[in-house]
Amino acid sequence: MVKAKKKFGQNFLKDSSVLNKIIQSMPINSNHIVEIGPGLGDLTEKLVKYKDTRAYEVDTDLIGILKTKFAIDIHEKRFELIHTDVLRAWDEKGTLYDGSYDLIANLPYYIATNIILRALEDDNCENIIVMIQKEVALKFSASEGEKEFSGLGVITKLSSKEARILFDVPPESFDPAPKVMSSILYIKKDLDVKLDKSFLKFLKVCFSQPRKKLSKNLSTVYDKELLSDVYKDLDLIETLRPHELSASLYSQMYTKVKNGKERS
Ligand SMILES: C[S@@+](CC[C@H](N)C(=O)[O-])C[C@H]1O[C@@H](n2cnc3c(N)ncnc32)[C@H](O)[C@@H]1O
């Protein structure tokens, strides 16, 4: 029996009803599947039965187990196992697969947010179905006005056609059990949208102090006169809090401040 490694965020999913529900949630299309962190291969086994799959695993000990378990699938090219840190693979190639793919995974929670942001940026990734901490899933799927609405919600709203939590998964479904509730997040990307990297930086400024006024956060970086003009142009009240502005207004605001002056 392998000992789960905390540093790699290893919580193995043991509940077969949850595994089956993940498979049933998969979109029907001809896309390849990419899995991040196959672990002991319980979800992988079901994915490979369904479609050709590529998986990225960082842990050398697990690679040994997976190579034995999936020897026939690897030989018959239904399954490709890549031994690397997935973030490194993205840095080196810009994509996890050279063709349309769906990302299906029980993610390592310590880098879950980063992985979803990279998948949103990766043009070849069309659908994302991932298990993550419920708290983070709520942020990605939140709408304006909700207290969980943050920069992550704005990015998801602008770059996807649909983003919602499919169902929750309690800690007892894993071994070892994580400390938090988990959720399956589903994102159907809008393939026509290309995200501008500096927009993410702008959102960080907007939500730097989420409970303060948006104008206060913006004034740490942007010129007061410019902000006053932007608020007037967009017909916004000065007392708005960051979670109260819609994703589309954030996008319009960004276009206006982009060419304006930053504070000297
Ligand atoms: C939450 S476990 C999921 C394991 C398995 N898929 C399951 O559902 O039981 C996360 C997996 O991601 C792997 N992992 C952690 N960091 C990684 C990284 N940077 N790149 C690739 N895999 C990683 C871990 O070793 C582990 O196998």
| Ligand 1 nearest atom to the CA of residue 12, by list position | 9
Query: For residue 37, which atom of ligand 1 is closest to its CA?
Result: 12
Q: What domains lie within the chain, and their CATH numbers?
A: 6-189 (3.40.50.150), 197-263 (1.10.8.100)
For residue 8, the CA-to-ligand 1 centroid distance in Å is 6
Is 104 a pocket residue for ligand 1 (Cβ < 6 Å)?
Answer: no
34 lines ligand 1 (CB under 6 A): no
Distance 129 CA to ligand 1 centre (A): 15
pTM: 0.94
Whether ligand 1 lies within 6 angstroms of the CB of 56 is answered as yes
- Among candidate residues 164, 165, 135, the one with its CA nearest the CA of residue 150: 135
Tell the residue nearest (CA) to atom 15 of ligand 1. Answer: 8
The ipTM is: 0.99
Query: pLDDT, tens digit, for every residue of 103-158?
Result: 999 999 999 999 999 999 999 999 999 999 999 999 999 999 999 999 999 999 99
DSSP string, 48-106: HHHS-EEEEE--HHHHHHHHHHTHHHHHTTSEEEEES-HHHHHHHHSSSSSS-EEEEEE
Number of Cβ within 10 Å of residue 129's Cβ equals: 20
Task: Give the strand pairing for 101-106 and 32-36.
Answer: parallel
Q: Where do we find the tokens 């990307």?
A: 189
Q: How far apart are CA 222 and CA 257, in angstroms?
A: 8
Q: How far apart are CA 206 and CA 193, in angstroms?
A: 21
Backbone angles phi, psi at 30, to 5 degrees: -105, 15
Q: Is 167 helix (H, G, I), strand (E, B) or coil?
A: strand
122 CB under 6 A from ligand 1?
A: no
Residue 39: CB within 6 Å of ligand 1? yes
Q: How confident is the model at residue 195 (pLDDT cuts 50, 70, 90)?
A: confident
pLDDT exceeding 90 applies to what percent of the chain? 94
3-class DSSP state of 166: strand
